Amino acid sequence: MILLYSEGKSVFTFALPALLIRAWTCRNFSVNNNDAKHFLSRKVKSYVSPTSTYTTETKFKNKKQSYWKSVVGLEIHAQITSTSKLFSQAGTEFGVPVNANVSFFDAAIPGTLPMLNRRCVEAGVLTALALSCRVNPVSFFDRKHYFYSDLPAGYQITQHRVPLAQEGVLEFHVFTPGSHHKPYSKKSCIKQLQLEQDSGKSLHDEEACRSLVDLNRAGIPLMELVFEPDLEDGEEAAALVKELMLILQRLGTCSCKMEEGALRVDANVSVHHEGEPLGVRTEVKNIGSVRAVGHAIQYEIHRQVKVLEAGGVIINETRAWDADSKQTVPMRDKEEKQDYRYMPEPNLPPLRVLLNDQPAVPNTYRDHINVQCLRRKLPELPSETRAKLTNKYGISPESAAILVNENVLLQHFYDIMEEKKSRDPKLSTNILIMELLTILNKKKLSLEASPFPSHTLGEIVDLLQSEKINLVTARKILQEIISGNSMSPSEVVEKYEWTQITNPSEIEKVCTAVIEQNPKLVEQFCSGKTKVFNSLVGKAAKITENRANMATVVQVLTAKLRKIQNP
């Protein structure tokens, strides 16, 4: 039996002892410069090898590459969203002062013991279910030993023998405009999902010849997801990571903020000739964003091909992605192959979860996590949302993907459709993913900082749908509001008299005027230069200050020109 402690019900509050803080401030960890390179720190100082000078661009053009097959497998560490650590009651907030979130256990003070955080197990099970994993009724914790200054106990508690869950699958769409001809669906199998604790952070001050240790991260709960090497390139990997992020964010089990280290992607990359055994793989670490996932892997594939084609060999090593120089560089701290001397963690009983609703013996399993109960709590997953958008609203799969990728857009969409059922879903989607994103981009604003509430956007959809305004006016309204006008879209239209001209007789007049005022263009058109038609349409727009219903203008103008051509 294992008793899981529940968050919030803090039975003991550990205050960080002054002793500990003083220990770290007055016993700054002094090492010389040569030593610093042995440290694994999250920010890896780039080590530029003289041979690795080519860039990603040139590699893309390497024609011989098609001759090779590349294999990519991902290992992803996702920080579980929780208020306290995996085995202690210390907090997990990001950005707090150094060593502020450290319990005695996190600092490996002798005599302290781990207590498993119930919330973390639940998050792990929920994630496992969302990824169609088989949840193990009993899993175990193990100690993985290695000496490192930011690993206070000298071992990490992880799940080595039997992880929390195994054998899942993640399906995702690879949709990268430009490089692949059309979007396609891909699956990657998940070997296992395990719970483990994070290590602390070493900071190296090379000038002062010392290293400092911050244990705020030590003991932070992580889910490690190990994927099978099912992927072929960086784009697939980036697409997988993006889809995983959507799922985890939807579940609320991980913030997926890569910039905070809440999601870390390591890629195992190898290349081989078709029909031959897999090549020697390298591990690429320190990938800081979804885009970097694609770039780093793509770079590494090309690097390996280049080395092999030059008659070289690939060595099994860990490399770090350097975002500045856009290349992978060897991480010199992991040169030696370590024997982690795994051992069962004797202070944590086996972790049992209840797979079926009904326990065989009532009350025996009162503390156990009920998997069926969690299954019922699973929210709608991104793939289900996309299917719903295409099936229920008739939105294209590409648009559905964009809406689901941006939770704010999706929420706007739902709000707009909810407010008035008669609104055209496709028109609404276009306003969101074309017009809204464009204007925010121009102003360099994030979606979260958007000044447009859903009802404003909905009103613009209404104005468009009722043909009261055209698209150009819609853009002008957005511009007006983003510049600080607090009026509603209808009020803006009214104030500036931007109502669309739809009256056919009025448009007749406009077209007649355009033809009269531009005899040269008309002449060119009649002599077969039909391209100038657009210029004539533009003149009509200009005369009406973009208020004319352009479809009608095109219609009327075409008729009139035809008459001139064939009197």
Partner 1 sequence: MLSLSVRQISRKLQDGVIVPSDVCTACLYQAEKLKKLNIFVRLTKEVAEHQAKESDVRYTNGNVRSLLDGIPVAVKDNYCTRNIETTCSSRMLESFKPPYNATVVQKLQDAGAVLLGKCNMDEFAMGSGTVDSIHGPTKNIWQSGEKYTLLRNVGERATSVEQVQGCNSTHGSKMVYQELHHLSSHSNKEGSSSPSEEGDWFIAGGSSGGSAVAVASGAVFAALGSDTGGSTRNPAAYCGVVGLKPSYGLLSRHGLIPLVNSMDVPGILTRTVDDAATLLNILAGHDLLDSTTVQDSFIPLDLSQDIDISRIRIGIPKEYNCPGMSDEVMETWSGVADILERAGAEVVQVSMPHTPSSIACYSVLNQCEVASNMARYDGIEFGLRTAENRSTEELYASTRSQGFNETVRGRILAGNYFLLQRNYPHYFLQALKVRRLIAQDFTHAWSSGIDVLLTPTTLTDAPRYSQFISRDNREQCASQDYCTQPANMAGCPAVTLPIKLSKQGLPLSLQLMGQSYREDVLLAVAKWIETAVDFPRLQLET
Residues binding partner 1: number (CB under 8 A): 51
- Residue 149 near partner 1 by CB under 8 A: yes
- Residue 153 near partner 1 by CB under 8 A: yes
- Residue 19 near partner 1 by CB under 8 A: yes
Pick from 7, 39, 100, 203 the residue near partner 1 by CB under 8 A.
39
C-beta closer to partner 1: residue 32 or 505: 32
Q: Which residue has the tokens 């204007």?
A: 439
Name 274's Cβ contacts closer than 8 Å, sequence gap at least 6. Answer: 69
- Contact indicator for 30, 207 with CB cutoff of 8 Å: no
**What are residue 486's phi and psi, to 5 degrees?**
-95, 5
- Residue 152 near partner 1 by CB under 8 A: yes
- Residue 66 near partner 1 by CB under 8 A: no
Name 517's Cβ contacts closer than 8 Å, sequence gap at least 6. Answer: 539
- Residue 143 near partner 1 by CB under 8 A: yes
- Residue 175 near partner 1 by CB under 8 A: no
- Residue 147 near partner 1 by CB under 8 A: yes
Amino acid at 533: F
**Residue 109 DSSP class:** -
- Residue 140 near partner 1 by CB under 8 A: no
C-beta closer to partner 1: residue 107 or 195: 107
Question: If we measure between CA atoms, which residue out of 467, 455, 453, 454 comes closest to residue 500?
Answer: 467
Pick from 261, 288, 330, 349 the residue near partner 1 by CB under 8 A.
349
Strands 318-322 and 282-287: parallel
Torsional class of 497: left (φ above 0), alpha (ψ -120 to 50), beta (otherwise):
left
C-beta closer to partner 1: residue 149 or 488: 149
Binding positions for partner 1, 515-544, rule CB under 8 A: none
From 229-237, 337-345, 483-491, 505-513, give the range in contact with partner 1 by CB under 8 A.
337-345
**CA gap 106, 171 in Å, rounded:** 37
Question: If we measure between CA atoms, which residue out of 510, 500, 524, 520 comes closest to residue 560?
Answer: 510
* Strands lying side by side in the sheet with 142-145: 155-158, 142-145, 343-344
C-beta closer to partner 1: residue 1 or 445: 1
In the complex, least distance from residue 119 CB atom to partner 1, rounded to whole angstroms: 15
C-beta closer to partner 1: residue 155 or 299: 155
Question: In the structure, how many helices (H) and strands (E) does the chain have?
Answer: 19, 18
- Residue 97 near partner 1 by CB under 8 A: no
C-beta closer to partner 1: residue 212 or 263: 212
Dump the DSSP string for 497-557.
Answer: T---B--HHHHHHHHHHHHHH-HHHHHHHHTT-GGGHHHHHHHHHHHTTT-B-HHHHHHHH
**CA gap 3, 73 in Å, rounded:** 36
Bridge partners, 237 (sequence order): none
- Residue 162 near partner 1 by CB under 8 A: no
Cβ neighbours, 10 Å, residue 411: 13
From 46-54, 264-272, 297-305, 339-347, give the range in contact with partner 1 by CB under 8 A.
339-347
**CA gap 162, 134 in Å, rounded:** 12
- Residue 496 near partner 1 by CB under 8 A: no
In the complex, least distance from residue 341 CB atom to partner 1, rounded to whole angstroms: 4
- Residue 1 near partner 1 by CB under 8 A: yes
Binding positions for partner 1, 356-375, rule CB under 8 A: 367
Provide the token pair at 51.
Answer: 């041979």
From 333-341, 404-412, 510-518, 555-563, give the range in contact with partner 1 by CB under 8 A.
333-341
Provide the token pair at 419.
Answer: 């407010």
- Residue 348 near partner 1 by CB under 8 A: yes
C-beta closer to partner 1: residue 147 or 531: 147
Pick from 22, 27, 562, 563 the residue near partner 1 by CB under 8 A.
27
- Residue 115 near partner 1 by CB under 8 A: yes
**CA gap 496, 152 in Å, rounded:** 68
- Residue 312 near partner 1 by CB under 8 A: no
**CA gap 421, 117 in Å, rounded:** 45
- Per-residue x/- track, 190-229, partner 1 (CB under 8 A): ---------------------x-x----------------
**What are residue 496's phi and psi, to 5 degrees?**
-90, 5
In the complex, least distance from residue 149 CB atom to partner 1, rounded to whole angstroms: 6
From 113-121, 177-185, 220-228, 387-395, give the range in contact with partner 1 by CB under 8 A.
113-121
The residues that touch partner 1, with contacts defined as CB under 8 A, are 1-3, 5, 11-12, 17, 19-20, 23-24, 27, 29-32, 34-35, 38-39, 104, 107-116, 143, 145, 147, 149, 152-155, 211, 213, 339-343, 346-349, 367
